[in-house]
Structure 1
Amino acid sequence: MFCRRVLLTLLSTAFALTTAATDCSKLPVFYFHGVRGDHTNAQNFVANLTAEGRTVVALTFCEMPCSLQAIVLQVPKAITQIREVVANSSEFNDGYIFLAHSQGGTISRAVIEEMDDHKVKRYISMAGLQNGQFIGPDKVEYSIANDGPFLKTLVPETMFNYSAYGPEDFYGKMQKDYVLYSIENPDAQYTYSQFNVNRWPQFGSFSTANFFLPVYNNVNRCLPGDNQCIYDQKRRKANFLKLEEAHFFASPADERIMPWQSSIFGRYSEVDTIEEIETKYMNLTIVNMNETLEYTSDTF
């Protein structure tokens, strides 16, 4: 991920990775929208970038309600559309740029890692959900006041009923119950994206019960003798390192992605057991990117 082969610049709200330089002044752009978004979210980017003489493709592989679908199902759709566009225009032969927002950040990174034939030269993630979502103690009061209606739109009540939880339950009980539901119902990973992006702070269960984030962070466990798993980890890392530049932007004013540091690969500290998600909830603290397993072990 951030190994010695790249130059890393870390700011309070943004960082960039760079390797070799390609003239990107005319490279075409693919835009990935966020959850419940569509191609029209790219209007300002299209106007400004086409004025520079660029081609901009606002992707439409999974818009509006479809964007709530499991990300593990959205990634192949994105790859299919990108390959179709690239195959039909020589304009993309020298490479292109990925520009992504919110949930589009995590989808686009998965596309980069999964797509062996990609020619992404520049990658720009704006408030991208890079390291998942977890309602922790730092903004729990805001979440209590504002997130109830939004959460209900992400997962049907027949699967997980957010309405059953009162304000006091936001202090760990609701989060713990959601984790238990995810573990006890593994098929949920193939239903809604909210299950794929839940980065709960108990690594043992997270690394095995979440079928998306651990895979593309390359911290999923490969059993002894599972050569395919090991090969895929190396392949995903190699695909990510084909990028010449990657820029990640985040803001402490972000009141949707929690913690906001997720957009620059931060997360909450770990607990030993699932029960402690509730009982030690107020002890959770932010772990910055350079202290994470992904960084210290250079997993991608």
Structure 2
Amino acid sequence: MTGSGSMEIIKFRIQEKHPGTVVYNVNRFESWSSLETMWHQVLEIGLDVANISSKHPEGINIIGYSQGGLVARGIIQTFPNITVDTFISLSSPQAGQYGAGFLHVVFPGLVKETAYELFYSRLGQHTSVGNYWRDPYHQKLYETYNVYLPYINNHIKSKRSEDFKANLLKVKRLVLVGGPDDQVITPWQSSQFGYYDGNETVVEMKNQDIYVEDHIGLRSLDMSGRLHLLTVPGVNHFDWHMNVSIVDDFLLPYLD
């Protein structure tokens, strides 16, 4: 629900610490348009990123915050000609979302226990949030209706599954940043591919099928030293991209 203006702190800090670095701050799908479907955002912003990548064939770094990190991963997995050195996912619901911390802003009166009734419908799948809403108590409906997350996570196999994995494996470094005091991404471990089981108990990434069976290449990235998990306590969701110390301590070291 925010816009590119909220990412200016990160942009200016990178430019300050790395003079001469070209930083692009994509300004598509701001405010209410951020509710447009994830695939639409992936394809539209992906064209921008592909154009940027073509100007920098040596490779680019990508930082995606919150929903933007999930859009960014979709772009990396979908566009084969984008050369990515480092992809930093900053508090993004990579394994899904099952928390109502922000729902009231967009969907007044909606609670997590019954949100599936909206999101797991054709209407609900016309919203970005519906595309990554993952109710642990309604897995079959999630698999039946969700058109985005189960596919880019290769939970449901498709004709593009091999490409989704191969394209992510091209990145030189994948950095997953999240923390226990986020209060929006639920569970917060989703930012590092952990998620609830059917009893709403968090299962860490390395015990998830997506890792164990290497559905999208996470285990391969990990075994080759290219996967980095950064857990940062004391940071609220709305502070990750507004805090210079976060940029200095957890972004810049991976952008050299």
Give the TM-score normalised by structure 2.
Answer: 0.78
Task: Verify the 8 A CA contact 1:104 1:129 in the aligned structure 2.
Answer: no
Quote the residue 2:135 is aligned against: 200
- The residue correspondences of 1:267-286 to structure 2 (distance < 5 A) are 267-270=195-198, 283-286=199-202
Structure 2 match to 1:171: none
Cα distance in 2 for residues equivalent to 1:48 and 1:210: 37
Structure 1 position 179, deviation (Å): 1.5
CA distance, structure 2, for counterparts of residue 68 and residue 153 of structure 1: 12
Give the aligned residue type for 2:24. V
Which residue number in structure 2 is paired with residue 152 of structure 1?
104
Q: Which residue of 2 aligns with 1:189?
A: 125
Amino acid at match of 1:175: K
Say which of 93, 99, 104 aligns to 1:129: 93
Flag the 1:43–1:186 CA change in 2: closer, same or farther, 3 A: same
Shift of 1:193: 1.2
1:175 aligns with 2:112: yes
Question: Counterpart of 2:59?
Answer: 95
Offset from partner CA, 1:15-62 (integer Å, 9 cap, x none)? xxxxxxxxxxxxxxxxxxxxx121112222222222312110011121
In the alignment, the residues of structure 2 paired with residue 216 and residue 93 of structure 1 have an alpha-carbon distance, to the nearest angstrom, of: 25
Larger Rg: 1
SS at match of 1:186: coil
Equivalent residue letter for 2:132: V
Distance 1:63 1:48 in 2: 22
Contact 1:61 1:81 in 2 (8 A): no
> In structure 1, what is the Cα distance between the partners aligned to 2:190 and 2:28?
25
| SS of alignment partner, residue 46 of structure 1 | helix
Give ranges in structure 1 of 5+ residues lacking alignment.
1-35, 136-142, 163-173, 223-228, 271-282
Structure 2 residue 76 is the aligned partner of structure 1 residue 112: yes
Aligned to 2:234: none
**Identity score, percent:** 26
1:50 matched to 2:15? The reply is: yes
Aligned partner of 1:247: which letter? V
| 1:261 to partner: Cα distance | 0.5
The whole-number CA distance in structure 2 between the counterparts of 1:121 and 1:265 is: 20
Deviant stretches of 4+, over 6 Å: none
Say which SS state the counterpart of residue 50 (structure 1) adopts: helix
1:63 corresponds, among 10, 15, 30, to 30
Q: Which residue of 2 aligns with 1:288?
A: 204
Q: Which amino acid is 2:203 matched to?
A: V
Q: How many residues align?
A: 213
TM-score, normalising length: structure 1: 0.67
Separation (CA, whole Å) in 1 of partners of 2:210 and 2:162: 14
Of structures 1 and 2, the one scoring higher in RCO (CA 8 A, sep 6+) is 1
Give the Cα–Cα distance (whole angstroms) in 2 for the partners of residues 259 and 177 of structure 1. 17
Q: Pick from 74, 94, 100: which aligns with 2:41? A: 74
For residues 45-82 of structure 1, what are the alpha-carbon distances to aligned partners after superposition, in whole Å with 9 as ceiling and x for unaligned?
22222231211001112112211222121111111112
Alpha-carbon distance, 1:180 to partner? 2.9
What is the root-mean-square deviation of aligned Cα atoms in Å? 1.7
SS in 2 for 1:56: coil
After TM superposition, give the deviation of residue 176 of structure 1 in Å: 4.2
Q: Per-residue CA shift, 1:201-235, capped at 9, x if unaligned?
A: 14332222111110110111x4xxxxxx2x31001
| Residue-by-residue CA offset, 1:134-190 (whole Å, 9 max, x unaligned) | 02xxxxxxx6xxx4xx423324x6xxx42xxxxxxxxxxx4343213333x224212
Tell whether 2:167 aligns with 1:215.
no
- Deviations along 1:98-131, one digit per CA (max 9) or x if unpaired, are 1111111111111110111111111111111211
Contact 2:53 2:82 in 1 (8 A): no
**C-alpha distance in structure 1 between counterparts of 2:179 and 2:118, whole Å:** 31
Aligned to 2:168: 240
Residues of 2 paired with 1:290 and 1:99: CA distance? 23
Gaps of 5+ in 2: 217-256
